[in-house]
Each structure stands twice: as C-alpha cells, then as structure tokens.
Amino acid sequence: MCLSGVDYFSTLGYQPGIAILAAGALAPVATVVLVLVTLFGAVPVYRKVAGHSPHGLGSIALMERLVSGWAGKLLVLLLLGFAMTDFMITITLSSADAATHILHSTESPLLIPVTLGLILALAAVFFRGFREAVGVAVVLVAAYLSLSAVVIGVGLRQLVTGPGHVTDWWHGLLAQQSNPWLLLALAVIVFPKLALGLSGFETGVSVMPLIRATDLATRIRDARRLLLTSALIMCTFLITSSVVVAMLIPAAEFGPGGTADGRALAWLAHEYLGQWFGTVYDWVTVGILWFAGASAMAGLLALLPRYLPRFGMAPEWARRSRPMVTVLTVIAVLITLAFGASVDAQSGAYATGVLVVLVSGAVGVTLLSHGRERILAAVTTAVLSATLAANIIERPDGVRVAAFFIIGVTATSIISRAWRSFELRDVGVIFDPAAEHILAAHTTGTRLALVPAAPGGDLALKSRRIRQSNHLQDESLLILEIEVADPSVFAEKLRVRGTSHDELSVLNVSAASVPNAVAVIALEIRDLTGVTPDIYFEWAPGNPLRDMLRFLALGRGQNATVTREILRRHIPEERDRPTIHVS
C-alpha cells in the first residue's frame, strides 16, 4: 500500500492548492464530488480490474483481451502511450513540487537544477535495488500521513475556535454563486482538474505481483483490500485538507510566487505549528513527493517489459530493470527541461494520462461485467469519459504531450518489430503422436526434403513440381502445411499435427509467421532425428518489396529469403544449418 501510496497520498502536497486555483471557495464542494467518484466509481471498477489482472498488467490487460490481432496491438500501444504520460509526468511533476517545497518558491532559478537532482537521486535508488525502494516508501508514507493528520487536525481546531473563518468562506462561496444547484454544477465542471491522485488506482493494480499470497485468489482479495483502504484514507485527507486550506489560507498566497503556491499544507504547518515543525513537515513532504516517482517507476517497470518485448516491439534488454531505469530517467530529464519544472504546466498532461487509463479500465470492466455490475461500470465510464472530455477541451496541451509519448512508443515499437522479425522466435515445438510417427518414418535415411505449403492447395501437384524442378527422385518428401493465424503474435509455441493427404505425409501447424515456423520446425527435426532437412520453396510471383511488407504485417511473403536470413542469423556456419532450395 505504501509503494502505491507514495504516488496516491503525495498528491496532498499540491492538490489542495490546485483545487483552490481551479475552483476558489468552491474547492471543498468540488473535492466532495471527487471523493464520490472515487468511492462509488473508481474503487468498484478497479476492484474488478484486480480480479481480471492478478499479474499486474492493469486496465490495459482488459482491453487486450477484448481486441485481437494488429488492432489489439495498436490499441495497447495507444494505451501504453497514455500510461507512460501518466507515470512519467508523475515522476517529473512530483519532483518539481518537491523542489518547490525545498526552495519555498516556484520562481527560484534553482528550481530546474534541484528537480533534476531529485530525479537522478530517484534513479540511483532503483539502481541500488527494489527492496530498498519499498522500505523507503513505508517510512515516508507513515511519516507523511502522521504529520499531515497533525497539520489538518490543528487546522480544524483553528476553524472551530478561531473567529470568522467559516463565515468568511461561506460569504466568499455565496459571492461566487448563490444558487445551490449551480454551485453543484460548477463543482462537477471543476472536478476534472482535481482528478490527479486517481493515478494511484492504476499503480495499485500494477504492483499486485508484489503482494505475498499462496494463490491468485488470495492475491486478488488482498489487492482489493489495498485499493479500498487506500481510497478511504485518501478521501478522508482530501476532504479535511480542502476545508482547512480553503478557509485558513488567504487567496492571494496561492498565486504564482505566493508562499502557499504548490505547498498549501506546508504553509499551514509553518503558520500554526511553528518554524521547527514546519521545517520537519517540509522535508517529509519533499521526501514523499520525490519518492512518488518510485511508485510511477515501479508501475512502468511492471508494465512496459510485460508488453513490448512480448510483442517483439522492444529489445530483450527491456525486460531488465536497470537499462529501463536509465531510459526512463533520460525521458524524465527531457520532460523537466521542456516544462521548466512547472507543476501547473504539467498538471494538464498528468490528468489526461490518468483519465484515459481510468476510462480504458472502466470500459473493459463494463464489457466484461453483467447485470447490475455492468450498469454501475457503464455509469462510471460515462462520468470518467465526460471528465476526460472536459479536461481535453480546457487543457488540450495534455493531449499534445500524450501524443509525443504515443508517437514515440508506436514508432520505436514498429521499428523494433521489423528489426526483430528476423530473429529465430523459438519458444518450443510440440509434435502430436501422428507427427512423431511421420518423422520416424521419414528420417530413416540421411536426407529429408521439407516442403512448406499453404493450406488448401493441391499438395500432390506441388510435390510433383518440387521433384521435377529439383531433380528429386528417391528423397523422402515431407509437406509442412502452415496456416497463419494471428500474424501480430511475435512468438508462440508451435503445435504440429500429423496427417496424410493423397498418400502424402503432411505436418500441419498454425503459426504467426511462415518463415519463422519453417526455420523453427526444421531445426527441431534436426535436433530430434539427427537428420538436417533440406527446405524446398517455389519462387513467389509477387513484387519483392510488397511481399516483404506482407511478411512484416501478415506473416507471409518472401518466405524463402526470410527463412534463410533467420537461419543465417541463428547459425552463422552454413554447413550446420538447413539448406534452402528455391525453384
């Protein structure tokens, strides 16, 4: 809870101030709307997400289950772009606000250097080890929530005992709008600007594999308990902090350069608990804001390696944490420089990323639910979608920032997939008993002619052409019939079935790529039988460039050329690999 909580709870460091800037005296009412959406919308949705994604893939996993093929892969890349926006801006925004607390100003010339230093320090923690990161998170969350409870408690006592605070706030609220229904409508309109901390839900499910459990059912139960507990704690702090900030801090202090700008609760700590306590609270706030990036970093390290390498859309080193920490840190540095370490400038992009991920989770839960649960999920989807639309209309810069991540993720993924298409993607071959019997019958000599073929063709005619064109007389001829199922799949276990057709022995297999399946099965036959097959292709009639693009997108095209290249890269010595014949 503390690892995801450094993201979720740390938003108390800046959210009360952002609420005042967005809604003025209406901030407590708008915060109540946020709490209602959290408890009756986000919590039920993410409890369902936890049930469908016990391995930490989050809401994106739900959408992946609903859409297959290349369309599904592109949808996942789109959502990964928004998730990266959410998590990366969490790192940079929280570090920028931590720097603001250190410097007591958003106008200091040291703001960018201090922010960059905090980002590099965060990277150093992850280079040290993940267990250390979890230990730091527990200490920071416990200290921050305890001290924040003291600050808010003193603030509430001041409201009760001090003269005029509640009355002044109420008059300011009525001056802003006297009609209670319009007040509520305004609170709903302002709500999107306050939806920053909701990213904690996606982080909460992304760290599910860290929950110690004897089975998946226990992990899901404990993850749901984690989500509900976090939400209840946070909602209590959100409402009480919004009340004391709105009623005790002069509005002028929230403006750019004001003493409460980006540090509202810290302002109260200094004002009502003295310099010593205020300084301690400042540094604890700095700590949790700085380490909020740890939660986001953990989310990215859980998310990206489970998708992109599996899709063939990232190098294998992307599965290792330290290279990924390096890449993500470089991106965070560039974002900080681009935004000038401004919390307000980054909040739009942050909210956009958060809300898109939340909407995707709500849509997935709606489609996978039934009855009353589906109705509740559909209502939540509508509320979050309206919130997202309002946020995009008011702050379109968030979509522009997300577009950079989406374009970057998609472009690098396509290039990586094209480059890795020539790898030998061998995750295992299983021959059924009939296929094993066929192999045993055809590998009694020293040569075996393996003939790849498309399903549905005239196999007898093809075998005659192959024999005539290559002057094959007595060689054992074995047809390998390959059906391309889902070409968007990068690597999969091949299950080979043995059959016969027109007195020909046929091996049937369903695969994502014809050349890769031929190469993998040929090498498996060599290892099982000791006979290295010769592979016989016929020339493709199409344009070579078009066929190469067909191979990349559809898993077939330039089969002979690509099969030879896959084998050449895997086995450098020509005498050790199957020979390719084309006629």
Give pLDDT tens digits for 241-291.
988 888 888 877 777 777 777 788 888 999 889 889 988 998 898 888 888
The closest of 559, 523, 524, 531 to 544, measured between CA atoms, is 559
pLDDT of 39-66, one tens digit each? 888 888 888 888 888 887 778 888 888 8
Average pLDDT value for residue range 559-581: 88
Rounded to 5 degrees, φ, ψ at 335 are -65, -45
Rounded to 5 degrees, φ, ψ at 490 are -85, -50
pLDDT interval class at 187 (50, 70, 90):
low
Angle between helices 343-368 and 58-66 (to 10 degrees): 40
Under CATH, which number does the domain 2-420 receive?
Answer: 1.20.1740.10
Tokens of 575: 């005498």
Hey, where are the domains in the chain?
A: 2-420, 429-582
Yes or no: say if 196 and 351 are a contact pair by the CB < 8 Å rule.
Answer: yes
**pTM for this prediction:** 0.76
pLDDT of 431-483, one tens digit each? 999 998 888 888 777 788 888 988 887 888 888 888 888 888 767 788 889 99
Q: How many helices (H) and strands (E) would you count in the chain? A: 22, 7
**Side chain identity at 266, as an amino acid letter?**
A
Round to whole Å and give the CA distance between 475 and 451: 12
Average pLDDT value for residue range 11-26: 77
Weakest mean pLDDT among 173-177, 235-239, 470-474, 564-568: 173-177
Neighbours of 327 (CB within 10 A): 14
Average pLDDT value for residue range 31-38: 84
Tokens of 98: 């931590």
Average pLDDT across the chain, whole number: 83
pLDDT at 207: 76
pLDDT of 293-313, one tens digit each? 777 787 788 778 778 887 887
pLDDT at 194: 65
pLDDT at 183: 63
Round to whole Å and give the CA distance between 321 and 305: 9
Yes or no: say if 38 and 231 are a contact pair by the CB < 8 Å rule.
Answer: yes
Distances (CA, A) of 428 to 197, 409, 467: 44, 29, 31
Cα-based torsion angle of the residue sequence 24, 28, 32, 38 in order, rounded to the nearest 10 degrees: 70
Rounded to 5 degrees, φ, ψ at 545 are -65, -45
β 579-582/449-453 pair status:
unpaired
265 contacts: CB under 8 Å, gap ≥ 6: 12, 13, 16, 148, 151, 152, 241, 245, 281, 285
Round to whole Å and give the CA distance between 1 and 203: 10
pLDDT at 538: 85
Yes or no: say if 194 and 24 are a contact pair by the CB < 8 Å rule.
Answer: no
What is the distance between the terminal CA atoms of the chain, rounded to a whole angstrom? 64
268 contacts: CB under 8 Å, gap ≥ 6: 151, 154, 155, 244, 245, 248, 249
pLDDT at 192: 61
pLDDT interval class at 10 (50, 70, 90):
confident
pLDDT interval class at 72 (50, 70, 90):
confident
Q: What is the CA radius of gyration of the chain?
A: 30
The closest of 448, 457, 454, 498 to 477, measured between CA atoms, is 448
Model confidence at 396: pLDDT above 80: yes
Rounded to 5 degrees, φ, ψ at 167 are -65, -45
Q: Tokens 């772009």 sit at which residue? A: 81
Model confidence at 148: pLDDT above 90: yes
